[in-house]
């Protein structure tokens, strides 16, 4: 038991350092490739912070624990949209960009609905997994192309389009890429340590695989998103914070379920489909009245998200 707690403590230390490196590397890389930090958050940072979910879900599927594989993805999205986004909004008012309103949130809602429909039969096969991966690649390609076009339009009307901060010429893409890669490595290993320690404690307490996947494992694998988003908010990088969470939620559904189902068809617990998946969909829908009227997330919206998340956790536990 003491060894499990030591793993959790060591993992939290790695997550803190990795989150700082992720934000620094992402912003620098955005300048080097002349795209907005929000796009880097939506793509590179989102994929990097989702690596723990990918590793845990694929390993769980290969080891014959499909409940953990599917519950990890669903639980991680609930943690991202409820806990992480709520806490980040308490630290910093998060403006919601027009691309998020027009493309990213609607796409996340669409993917959540499609996932719910495909999981109704309690099975996610290789065909569905391949479809998810194709949709993810197409979405990321469209978003990056749109972002680069937006940067070119801004450059035509203003001499300086990059956000304030370090000099764009300071270092280069290799340096910033190395920093970002180091940050991804730290958060992946940090998340794994937390998951290993927390899972050992949970299983020793006699919890089911579904409960472990939705709570301990989902929380542990969502810690990279929490770390990078809180660091980004503390440094005033709200574009990275929001883009990271939206992108990570999309990547969880399309990338992780896509890879997992493509390798090993996933059998889904009916309780996940009829309860937890519906909570994930409801939380995604709940974002609409929060982000569209004022196009920002503040403390009030943060408290509301945390409130919904708390209700979900209470009904799940009791």
- For the domain that residue 238 is a member of, what is the CATH number? 1.20.1420.30
Counting the structural domains of the chain, the total is 1
Cα 82 from Cα 255, distance rounded (Å): 21
Q: What is the pTM of this model?
A: 0.76
Burial letters 260-281, b for 16+ CB under 10 A, else e: bbbebbbebbeebbebbbebbb
Collect all residues with Cβ–Cβ distance below 8 Å to 70 and sequence separation of at least 6: 57, 119, 124, 213, 257, 266, 268, 269, 272
pLDDT mean across residues, the chain: 78
Tell me which residue of 256, 278, 213 sits closest to 46, measured CA to CA.
256
pLDDT, tens digit (0-9, with 9 covering 90-100), for 244-255: 687 788 988 998
Torsion of CA 137, 140, 145, 151, to 10 degrees: -160
**In the chain, % of residues over pLDDT 90:** 21
Across the chain, how many H-helices and E-strands are there?
18, 4
Fill in the DSSP letter of residue 205: T
For range 98-103, the mean pLDDT: 81
pLDDT at 281 (0 to 100):
95
pLDDT, tens digit (0-9, with 9 covering 90-100), for 106-135: 999 999 999 999 998 888 888 999 999 999
Cα 172 from Cα 106, distance rounded (Å): 35
Residue 47 located in a structural domain: yes
- The alpha-carbon radius of gyration of the chain (Å, integer) is 19
Examine the pLDDT at 156 and tell me if it is beyond 60.
Answer: no
For range 232-243, the mean pLDDT: 67
Residue 13 located in a structural domain: no
Cα 65 from Cα 72, distance rounded (Å): 11
Residue 162 located in a structural domain: no
Residue 72 located in a structural domain: yes
Cα 318 from Cα 24, distance rounded (Å): 41
Fill in the DSSP letter of residue 82: I
**56 in helix, strand or coil?**
helix
pLDDT, tens digit (0-9, with 9 covering 90-100), for 36-67: 655 665 566 666 666 666 766 776 666 666 66
pLDDT, tens digit (0-9, with 9 covering 90-100), for 252-290: 899 888 988 888 888 888 888 889 999 999 999 999 999
Torsion of CA 240, 242, 248, 254, to 10 degrees: -120
Q: Are strands 123-124 and 94-95 parallel, antiparallel or unpaired?
A: unpaired
Residue 281 located in a structural domain: yes
Domain that holds residue 149: 38-157+208-317
For range 131-148, the mean pLDDT: 83
Residue 30 located in a structural domain: no
Residue 128 located in a structural domain: yes
Cα 147 from Cα 228, distance rounded (Å): 22
Collect all residues with Cβ–Cβ distance below 8 Å to 287 and sequence separation of at least 6: 81, 105
Cα 292 from Cα 308, distance rounded (Å): 18
How many other CB atoms are there within 10 angstroms of residue 3's CB atom? Answer: 9
CB 125 within 8 A of CB 172: no
Cα 93 from Cα 236, distance rounded (Å): 9
Residue 118 located in a structural domain: yes
């Amino acid at each position: 038991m003491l060894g499990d707690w030591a793993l959790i403590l060591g993992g939290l230390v790695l997550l803190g350092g990795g989150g700082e490196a992720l934000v620094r590397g992402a912003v620098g890389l955005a300048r080097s490739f002349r795209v907005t930090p929000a796009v880097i958050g939506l793509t590179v940072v989102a994929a990097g912070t989702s690596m723990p979910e990918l590793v845990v879900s694929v390993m769980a599927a290969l080891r014959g624990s499909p409940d953990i594989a599917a519950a990890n993805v669903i639980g991680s999205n609930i943690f991202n949209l409820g806990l992480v986004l709520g806490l980040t909004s308490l630290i910093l008012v998060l403006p919601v960009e027009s691309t998020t309103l027009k493309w990213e949130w609607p796409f996340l809602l669409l993917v959540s609905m499609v996932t719910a429909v495909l999981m109704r039969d309690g099975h996610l096969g290789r065909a569905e997994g391949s479809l998810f991966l194709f949709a993810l690649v197409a979405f990321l390609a469209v978003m990056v192309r749109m972002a680069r076009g937006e940067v070119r339009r801004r450059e035509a009307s203003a001499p300086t389009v990059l956000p304030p901060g370090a000099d764009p010429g300071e270092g280069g893409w290799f340096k910033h890429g190395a920093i970002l890669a180091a940050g991804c490595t730290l958060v992946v290993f940090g998340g794994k340590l937390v998951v290993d320690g927390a899972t050992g404690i949970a299983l020793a307490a006699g919890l089911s695989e579904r409960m472990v996947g939705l709570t301990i494992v989902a929380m542990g694998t969502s810690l990279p998103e929490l770390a990078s988003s809180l660091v980004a908010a503390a440094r005033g990088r709200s574009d990275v914070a929001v883009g990271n969470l939206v992108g990570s939620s999309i990547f969880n559904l399309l990338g992780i379920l896509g890879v997992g189902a493509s390798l090993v068809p996933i059998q889904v617990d009916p309780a996940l489909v009829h309860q937890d998946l519906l909570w994930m969909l409801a939380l995604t829908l709940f974002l609409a009245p929060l982000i569209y009227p004022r196009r920002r997330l503040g403390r009030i919206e943060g408290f509301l998200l945390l409130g919904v998340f708390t209700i979900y956790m209470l009904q799940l536990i009791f």
